[in-house]
Chain A
Amino acid sequence: MEIKNFTIEDLTRLTKNGKVSVKEIAESVIKEIEKNEDTIHAFISIDKEKILKNAEELDKKEKKGKLYGVPVAIKDNMNLADTETTAGSKILKGYISPYTATAVEKIINEGALIVGKTNMDEFAMGSSTENSAFFKTRNPVNPEYVPGGSSGGSAAAVSANEAITALGSDTGGSIREPAAFCGVVGLKPTYGRVSRYGLIAFASSLDQIGPFAKNVKDAAIMLEVISGFDWHDETSVNREDIDFTSLIGEEIKGKKIGLIREVSDFQIQKEVKSSLEKTANLLQKSGAEIVDVSIPHLKYALPAYYIIAPSEASANLARFDGVRYGLFSEGKNLRETYEKTRTEGFGTEVKRRILIGTFALSAGYYDAYYLKASKVRRLIEKDFEKAFEKADVLLTPTTSKTAFKIGEITDPLEMYMNDIFTIPVSLAGLPAISIPAGKDEKGLPIGMQLIGKWFAEKELLQIAYALEKGLK
């Protein structure tokens, strides 16, 4: 069998009625990995023997579960008991998780075949996966280009058929941007929809786990698996609506699609611009109505984000001090030990953000930075609330440009600009999906972002599916 021809739906139909064994699937995935991994480098840790062994065990079990036999890749910032979890950082090299993240556990409980742990920007800080402490992942569409980030490994794994689906985490665009760059579907759920327990925190008020998939329906199936209240996470939400697939395929006549006026204030690559127009037209043709909406504070999202996220990160990353686990570099005294350990253990971008965050929270600066940024965040939330009075979903490009070459962007501020359309959504805690919408002149994928109302993933996926159908 050729794994690349399959979606979750197709595959589980075959595995459940015994037409294909999980072992056959495992062998097929390993074949793809052997073919691609030397170029792509999607995985930080992968163990072919273990994949086969797990497949054999799954074959012995009752053939059930929404993901029975489906090869899933996991971003390396999620804990999986008894395996190495590094978050792409040298400071956690060799760290073995003593427990499993809730989202990962849910996937395992549905019969998934875990392929391995994927590469990422260190502690999810980056937009290209170039900030991994270990190696760079390449874009399967064109290996000279970055796969995006920070969940670049997960996006690349799905794009290169090294997995059918994958888990990523999104703080400011870390699922949607790599999905756009690699030409796959990436979904960031509403903040609180998926438990963060076991996800190594970058910015706790923004982090959310979500799936990469080959199509919208697979993403919806994955969301059904990973969502739900978890007593381990007080920010996870207890809600009844856990069905995200039943509206898929329903027509979207009368749905209101909002185009954000302020998006055009930013420089957008011309092919991306025309793809946005084409997408809007397609939706219109399907019976949806295009409405004009405004997010007046859109341009303040990026600066606010780069205060809030680093502030939270500066505290979240304080635990990596070499005292209990991870890299330990001994100095003459305690202070020197801290300094040496953290100097050696963290990469440049992580240090930069820790410093920004530490500064922003310092006495005398808190009001001007953190507090102000929090107020901006409220305003952005309000802007979206208002926009959703007129529209059911909002449509923007996922990124203003398609993927860039490895090593091309060295200025951090230029790098941060990759997330201008994804960050406002994260600040507001809204769900959003990136779906492939054509290619540019160089053949690089373009991604379109659909933003839903809070906890309205069902409707968002319905519209995304219709759009995906139209684009094909």
Chain B
Amino acid sequence: MEYKPTIGLEIHVQLSTKTKIFCRCSTEFGAEPNTNVCPVCLGLPGVLPVLNEKVVEYATKLGLALNMKINETSTFYRKNYFYPDLPKGYQITQYSIPIASEGFLKIRTERGERKIRIIRGHIEEDSGKSIHTGDITESEFSYIDFNRSGVPLMEIVTYPDIETPEEAYEFLVLLRKTVRYLGVSSGDMEKGALRCDVNISVSKGKSLGTKVEIKNLNSFRSVRRALEYEIKRQIEVLEKGGTVIQETRHLDEKTGETKPMRTKEELNDYRYFPEPDLPPLVLTKEYIEEIKKKIPELPAEREERFVKEYGITREYAHEICASKSLADYFENAVKLSNKPKEIANYLMVNISGYMNEKGISIEEVKFKPEYFKDLLDMIDKGTISKNIAKTVIAESLNTGKKPSVIVKEKGLIQITDTDAIEKAVDEVISENPKPVSQYLNGKTQVMGFLIGQVMKKTRGKANPKIVSGILAKKLNTMKK
């Protein structure tokens, strides 16, 4: 019998509101330390928290998008612990009744569709950030930046439904897509807008193994690596007849190994109790319905629709829907010219390639969605060839000029004038006696070469269909 891993995730999603959860300070990332602060988020004596309405809206949105039940009444609690970057000595969070509970996300994996259930989603405030001089255990003193103190978070906790590192990765990818679609979080892990802790155990039988927590994973790749390593490690321990210790570990990014946390953190009793400064959060059914209406089509649904409605491949649909703006771009282009397959192809091959090379997003791409109609119309009319189209896209990506303008300026209009083409064909025939005689002797495959020569002569501007027609006609007359 094989070992089966059981994995659960705890994800902190930073909600991208302009101001903090309990005061009006900016949440801007990367500001000069301790500049986005006020008496409230510094926890000065006498201050009180005032809940930011936008945080409630964003959390409700995300809860609904994760198929969760929004609780009409939820409550705030104080989670007590001492740490220098926690200015009040407690964190305001939700405990017994969170804003959202019981949901799921369906992910696509090698084993097909998998439903990962979600236990809860609750809102809370972030702490400040400690910056240690060197290693935490040896640091002589530390700095604290309170800019992050009071930044809104929604913590999403999954059931231990995940069975492979790949599934954990896919879940996170879909979650990130979802928050970005909703516009409730940047989802940037490197900026701390998405933080993930994992719980992992392995066992052979039905009963679960001992759970190990891995904290502070700072990329999706790290999550996968940490889980892969940890599964291997736990199996090895068990195989050798040992027991897995319940502990908190972290991933050493250099070696890819997980190691026990080195902090002398004692077992904390957080002494949760209801936050007396905040009345229960009460949401009406109407409010929840209003928010529901504001939720856009989510990535999984959209992907499905793209496959069905536009007939593009699953791979393309998946890639295009990975980003809402990319999918919006695609649909805008399709709406105008109604050639989804061609657009998907140009988008994923030519434009995507350019974006990767330059490291830019679709919003920064100069080739506008409406350019597709302009471009595809020219192909249809035979004004340019598909080959030339690629050149035009490349040019437009650099200059932002409309394809028809580029074609005109660069003289890329396809030569449909048969006289000009005939002249070129004649020249090619006289310049290439050997291939011509080969053709005449039945080696018809040299036709491609001869067409290429004509195209070269016309600098790609000749209509290939007309070229091959004229060439065939002329060669056939020579046969007789």
Contacts and interface: CB of A to CB of B under 8 A. Distances in A.
**Chain B contact surface mostly:** loop
Contacts of A28: none
**Chain A contact surface mostly:** loop
A255 to B, nearest CB: 32
Contact of A235 (B269, B271, B273, B279): B279
A76 to B, nearest CB: 11
Given A99-B39, A234-B277, A312-B276, A321 B84 contact: yes
7 contacts: A95-B45, A204-B277, A315-B271, A318-B89, A319-B89, A321-B89, A361-B271
Nearest to A323: B84
A60 B212 CA distance: 71
Given A98-B39, A312-B276, A361-B80, 20 more contacts: A79-B46, A97-B46, A101-B46, A196-B48, A197-B47, A197-B48, A231-B50, A234-B48, A235-B276, A318-B82, A318-B89, A319-B43, A319-B88, A319-B89, A320-B45, A323-B144, A324-B42, A358-B271, A361-B271, A366-B272
A429 B48 CA distance: 19
Contacts of B278: 234-235
Given A98-B39, A318-B89, A321-B84, A199 B276 contact: no
Nearest to B267: A363
A95 B44 CA distance: 10
A74 interface: no
B45 A318 contact: no
A361 B273 CA distance: 7
Contacts of A368: none
B90 interface: yes
Nearest to A335: B82
A204 B46 contact: no
A311 interface: yes
A163 to B, nearest CB: 21
Nearest to B51: A234
A342 B88 CA distance: 15
Interface residues of A, number: 45
Interface in B71-125: 78, 80, 82, 84, 87-90
B46 A205 contact: no
A205 to B, nearest CB: 4
Interface string A190-221: 00000011111101110000000000000000
Interface of A: 77-79, 85, 87, 92, 95, 97-99, 101, 196-201, 203-205, 231-235, 311-312, 314-315, 317-321, 323-325, 334, 338, 358, 361-363, 366, 370
B307 to A, nearest CB: 48
B49 interface: yes
Contacts of A362: 269, 271
Contacts of B43: 319, 324
Q: Which of B43, B45, B89, B90 has the most CB of A within 10 A?
A: B45
Nearest to A89: B45
A405 to B, nearest CB: 32
A198 B90 CA distance: 19
Contacts of A77: 46
Contacts of A320: 45
Contacts of A197: 46-48
A363 B42 CA distance: 28
A101 B84 CA distance: 26
Contact of A234 (B49, B88, B144, B271): B49
A223 B43 CA distance: 28
Given A235-B277, A361-B271, A370-B273, A315 B80 contact: yes
Contacts of A95: 45
A366 B271 CA distance: 8
Contacts of B84: 321, 323, 334
A447 B265 CA distance: 53
A205 B48 CA distance: 12
Nearest to A196: B48
Nearest to A195: B48
B271 A232 contact: no
Q: Which of A78, A231, A235 has the most CB of B within 10 A?
A: A235
Contacts of B277: 201, 204, 233-235
Contacts of A314: 80, 271
A363 B45 contact: no
B82 A315 contact: no
A311 B273 contact: yes
Given A234-B50, A318-B88, A324-B87, A85 B269 contact: no
Contacts of B48: 196-197, 232-235
Given A234-B277, A234-B278, A235-B277, A200 B89 contact: no
Contacts of B45: 79, 85, 87, 92, 95, 200-201, 319-320
A324 B85 CA distance: 10
